[in-house]
Amino acid sequence: MPFTGSIGTPVGVLEVHSDGAAIRRVTWPRAGRTAPVAPGASADVERDPLLAEALAQLGAFFAGERSVFELPFDLGPQSEVTNAVLRALYDTVLLGETVTYGELAQRSGTAVPARAIGSIMGANPIPIIVPCHRVVASDGLGGYSGGAPGEGLLTKRWLLEHEGALPAALF
C-alpha cells in the first residue's frame, strides 16, 4: 500500500513516498500537486511509521542535526549498473564530501563511462537520501535535476553549502 507525506524545506516542498517497508521516492511536487506540508496533516504519516520517520530524518537533516539517513529504501526497477552506482554513492560519499562523475564511476566498480553517471544521477528516485547532489563535474558543479522547475543548480548549491562541501556564496 503506498503512503505519501510532505515536508517544507529551504529547497522547497519535498514529497516522500513509502510502501510501508521502504522509501520508494522523494520528489519536488509540481504546482497544484502538493500534498499537505505539515507532516501531521497527512493521514498517511499516522498509518506508516516509516514515512513518519523519513519526514523526521529529513527535517533533522535540513535543521543541521542529522548527517546520515538511516532508512530502508528501494531504488525500484533500475539496471544493475544504475543500482550499483547509486548504492556506491549512498555508501561512500558522506556529508560534506563531493565526488566527480568519473570518481563515482570508478567507486561503483562498473565499466560505465563518467559521462553516463549524470544520466544515472537523473534517474535517482530518492534524491537527498541518496545524495546525487554530491556528484560534481571535474570543472564545476555539473547539473542537477532536483528542486523547483528551473532551480536545479540553485538547489544543488544550497545543499552543498548546507553540508559544508562548498563555501557560502558571497551574494
Q: CA torsion angle for 169, 92, 94, 126 (degrees, to 10)? A: 80
Give yes or no: 93 in active site.
no
Contacts of 161 (CB under 8 A, 6+ apart): 167, 168, 169
Distance of CA 166 to the CA centre of its chain: 17
Q: Of the residues 88, 132, 159, 165, which is catalytic?
A: 132
Give the DSSP letter string of 78-126. --HHHHHHHHHHHHH--TT--EEHHHHHHHHTS---HHHHHHHHHT-SS
CB 48 within 8 A of CB 18: yes
Pairing state of beta strands 99-100 and 12-18? unpaired
Looking at the chain, how many residues does it have? Answer: 171
> Which residues are identified as catalytic?
132
